[in-house]
């Protein structure tokens, strides 16, 4: 048995911060494929709300795969998964299906039958909204990925986790990611007024980081105040196209335009760390922005592993009620 086989057999959970923006999400998908995907994984399940980045992650994991949903305004019809016998010798090796989208056209038991048929023919099937088909399918995914504020990569066994467990975690955290991304764009919006244009984006739980090669001469308390004024105005935030949103009536560049709250007023408890943070290795100056966090937070606690998020759902309920978790 090779080292990679042993690594896959022993893999339970990996937790990654969900990047914002299509290029970074696609790159994250490529890394997940390289590190966690086995050539023998046939059923790949993804769970996450609309706009969470599932389709972009799939494009990074499987470059060139034709997606069948309408994310790019193109619907593949007839659905290849449902027409496996019509393509003869040239049938695809890998099928894609968006369950939420296809339920508008096809009964769930028909989709489940088609997935089982493809698997019996040693085909790979990538399933978006896997939690919706699991009750009809009766088998768990070989590799199950949940997208919320974080990306959970797990290899289910007879002991779980169940798709519902992953769904409960990622759907509970997705709004924090939307708030953080919207706040990040408001900071960018205010930096333009200060003629600051060049920086890199990085991630932290419940917030974002902007990194500068050259430290800009700006007052972070003043910047925080300006962003909070925009939040208080409760301006609508709406999708414009694949690389832009509208903040109020102002067009703003954004590579993750679907990952936003609907208005600035829905961003809770925005705050900036009031000093530039120096990266210990690159020496870059960094701005840290946070949402929905208490004001007395500690920097060292921001990325603390939240073990309760990754417990089976019955243990989470036990812990929440004050019982013991074994």
- Write the DSSP assignment of 189-203 as a string of letters: HHHHHTT----EEEE
State the architecture of 175-301 in CATH terms. 2-Layer Sandwich (3.30)
pTM for the predicted model, two decimal places: 0.84
Q: How far apart are the first and last CA of the chain?
A: 33
Asked if the domains at 3-161 and 175-301 fall in one CATH topology, the answer is no
pLDDT at 99: 95
User: pLDDT: is 85 or 17 the higher one?
Assistant: 17
In which band, very low, low, confident or very high, does the pLDDT at 319 lie, cut at 50, 70 and 90?
A: very low
Where do the structural domains in the chain lie, given as residue ranges?
3-161, 175-301
Cα–Cα separations (whole angstroms), residue 261 to 174, 234, 264, 322: 10, 11, 7, 33
Mean model confidence pLDDT for the chain? 86
The yes-or-no verdict on residue 275 having pLDDT over 60 is yes
Long-range contacts, stretch 212-219, CB < 8 angstroms, 24+ apart: 212/284, 212/285, 212/286, 212/287, 213/284, 214/285, 215/276, 215/285, 216/191, 216/285, 218/191, 218/194
Topology of 3-161 in CATH?
Rossmann fold (3.40.50)
Q: Tell me how crowded residue 83 is: count the other CB atoms within 10 A of its CB.
A: 12
Q: Yes or no: say if 279 and 286 are a contact pair by the CB < 8 Å rule.
A: yes
Mean pLDDT of 84-113: 86
């Amino acid at each position: 048995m090779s080292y990679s086989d042993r690594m896959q057999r022993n893999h339970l959970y990996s937790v990654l911060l969900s990047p914002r923006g299509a290029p970074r999400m696609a790159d994250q998908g490529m890394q997940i494929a390289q590190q966690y995907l086995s050539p023998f994984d046939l059923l790949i399940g993804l769970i996450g709300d609309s706009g969470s980045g599932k389709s972009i992650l799939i494009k990074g994991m499987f470059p060139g795969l034709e997606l069948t949903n309408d994310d790019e305004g193109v619907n593949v019809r007839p659905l290849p998964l449902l027409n496996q016998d019509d393509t003869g010798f040239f049938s695809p090796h890998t099928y894609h299906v968006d369950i939420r989208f296809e339920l508008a056209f096809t009964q769930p038991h028909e989709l489940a039958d088609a997935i089982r048929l493809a698997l019996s023919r040693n085909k790979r099937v990538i399933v978006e909204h896997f939690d919706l088909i699991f009750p009809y399918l009766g088998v768990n995914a070989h590799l199950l990925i949940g997208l919320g504020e974080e990306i959970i990569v797990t290899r289910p066994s007879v002991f779980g986790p169940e798709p519902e467990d992953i769904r409960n975690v990622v759907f509970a955290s997705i709004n924090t990611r939307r708030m953080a991304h919207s706040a990040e764009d408001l900071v960018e919006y205010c930096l333009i007024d200060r003629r600051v244009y060049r920086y890199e984006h990085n991630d932290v739980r419940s917030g974002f980081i902007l990194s500068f090669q050259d430290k800009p001469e700006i007052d972070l308390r003043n910047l925080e105040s300006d962003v909070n004024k925009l939040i208080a105005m409760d301006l609508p935030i709406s999708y414009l196209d694949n690389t832009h949103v509208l903040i109020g009536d102002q067009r703003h560049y954004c590579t993750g335009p679907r990952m936003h709250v609907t208005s600035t007023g829905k961003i809770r408890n925005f705050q900036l760390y009031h000093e530039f943070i120096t990266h210990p290795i690159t020496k870059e100056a960094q701005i840290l922005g946070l949402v929905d966090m208490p004001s007395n937070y500690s920097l060292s606690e921001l990325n603390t592993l939240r073990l309760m998020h990754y417990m089976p759902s019955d243990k989470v309920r036990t812990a929440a009620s004050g019982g013991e978790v074994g």
